[in-house]
Structure 1
Amino acid sequence: MPTGTAHVSHSGQTCLMSDSLLDREAYRLVLTEKLHVELGAVCGFSPVAVWEAMRSKPRVLVLVADRPSAAIREAIEIVSRLRKDLFILVVSGLSDEPILRDWGRCGIHGYMLKDGGYQELRTAIAAAGAGDPYYSAGVRQIISKGSGGKDGVRLLSRREAELLPLLARGMTLRDAAGELGIAYKTADAYRTSLLRKLRLKDRVELARWAIREGIVEA
């Protein structure tokens, strides 16, 4: 298959992404032969390949990469818009604090180090399938520093930052869109993006977070 092209099957709920053809093939074999994971799509990070892969409607994305390059960040943005409930599990060989913080800014949901072995990968994917975060030992707190607290607001676009307090105060998305003078679908995209960046699941968590951080009053 050409580099970056998506191979799509509509039977699996897990998608595998890597920029390296060798990594894609190696992890495809590990996932399907060793762990018996049914893959719906295997692809690189080009926008066309990512869009094609999302046709398989995956619930879990296994993203194999050491650093969050610009292409990877763009791919995460695309999948987050297309599959709002997608769980992103990164498999990486690096545990350096600056790199972990960078990954934290991407809005991922799990991070496993490559030296963890088959059993840890099995555990991580099972957790992802259940919607539960999974992190290898010693990395979660550092990754959280990349997106948590008021520092997380700095990751938001101007419009996302404007939308945040409106939703946190209980305003409906439609009313918030009207307040900001934007289309409902645009506001929906901003909401999805800001929740992902702040690593929050829904508006209830958003309201609690905003109160805790002093962005809105209780």
Structure 2
Amino acid sequence: MTKVIIVDDEEIFREGIKFILEQDKDIEVVGEAQNGIEGIKKCEALSPDLILMDIVMPECDGIEATRIIKSKFENIKIIMLTTFNDEDNIAQAISNGADSYILKDVAAPDLLMAIRSCTKGFNVIQNKAFSNMPKCFGRCPQKISIIKKDTLNTANLTHKQKELIRLIVEGKENKEIASELYLSEGTVRNSISKLLKKLNLKDRIQLAVYAVKNGIYE
């Protein structure tokens, strides 16, 4: 069971998200908060597994609350759930420890999938926000410093693999990639998995960082 806290200053939004999450038997909403300070206190009292965190809130915003929570409770996963899709907020959220970044127009099934993925250690960046990721790399040093330049492996990438990386960095979904490369979605998924394994990377975010550091995407 994944214990979740919803931190958002709009009560009607919290109630809507709570209703969606409670349709999943593996998710339990254990608390709600209307600002970052309340969110921090709820973490201390309820020990959640994951927080859905808004950004703009009174008293203490979600980005600062994320920094404080991550400094105290490293294992709590934080998904930013916001309307803001600009590079400033994305960079600050990731720098402060956010594990995933989702926009509020996300479909209910996709939100549930993001929660499941995040609890398993996979970072999730919604497609619309992912397109701004290359602009943020230089502003999130602690998140990307583990990705080193890798001339040897880069030289061994095929043209098709480099094209696949380029489309991923641009935020394309598997269906879009499959269409552009004339492949099936299954083949695209397998190709991405093999590529991550070859380059010793965890997810698409690290792959995007790798691409920029190694000159595959500029």
Shorter-chain TM-score above 0.5: yes
What is the RMSD of the two structures over their aligned residues, measured on CA atoms?
A: 3.1
Shift of 1:118: 0.9
1:164-175 to 2 correspondences below 5 Å: none
In 2, Cα distance between the equivalents of 1:136 and 1:68? Answer: 25
Q: 1:90 to 1:48 in 2, by over 3 A?
A: closer
- Say if 1:42 and 1:53, in contact at 8 Å, map to a contact too: no
Does the 8 Å CA contact 1:47/1:75 hold for their aligned counterparts? yes
**Is 1:101–1:142's contact at 8 Å kept on the other side of the alignment?**
no
Residues 104, 143 of structure 1: 8 Å contact kept: no
Alpha-carbon deviations, 1:162-195, whole Å to 9, x = none?
Answer: xxxxxxxxxxxxxxxxxxxxxxxxxxxxxxxxxx
Alpha-carbon shift at residue 97 of structure 1 (Å): 3.8
1:77 aligns with 2:67: yes
Q: Distance in 2 between matches of 1:107 and 1:19?
A: 21
Unaligned runs of 5+ in 2: 150-218
Q: Distance in 1 between matches of 2:134 and 2:50?
A: 20
| 5+ long unaligned stretches in structure 1 | 1-10, 154-197, 201-205, 213-218
**CA apart distance, 1:125:** 0.6
Matched letter for residue 199 of structure 1: K
Equivalent residues in 2 for 1:96-135 (5 A)?
96-135=86-125
Query: Aligned to 1:38, which of 24, 28, 37?
Result: 28
**Corresponding residue to 1:19 among 6, 9, 19:** 9
1:199 aligns with 2:152: no
Alignment-derived partner of residue 173 in structure 2: none
1:87 aligns with 2:77: yes
Q: Is the 8 A contact 2:35 2:60 kept in 1?
A: no
Do 2:5 and 2:52's aligned partners in 1 also have CA atoms closer than 8 Å?
yes
Shift of 1:77: 2.2
TM superposition score normalised by structure 1: 0.56
1:152 aligns with 2:150: no
SS in structure 2 at match of 1:108: coil
Q: Aligned with 1:134: secondary structure?
A: coil
Partner Cα separation in structure 2 for residue 46 and residue 138 of structure 1: 25
- How many angstroms apart in 2 are the aligned matches of 1:98 and 1:82? 24
* Structure 1 stretch displaced more, 37-46 or 116-125: 37-46
Q: What does 1:185-196 correspond to in 2, within 5 Å?
A: none
- 2:40 maps to which of 43, 50, 60: 50
Query: How far did 1:73 drift?
Result: 2.8
Percent sequence identity over matched residues?
Answer: 16
1:74 is displaced (CA, Å) by 2.8
Deviations 1:91-136 (A, max 9, x none): 2223234443443343311111222211111110110111110111
Contact 2:8 / 2:57 at 8 angstroms: preserved in 1?
no
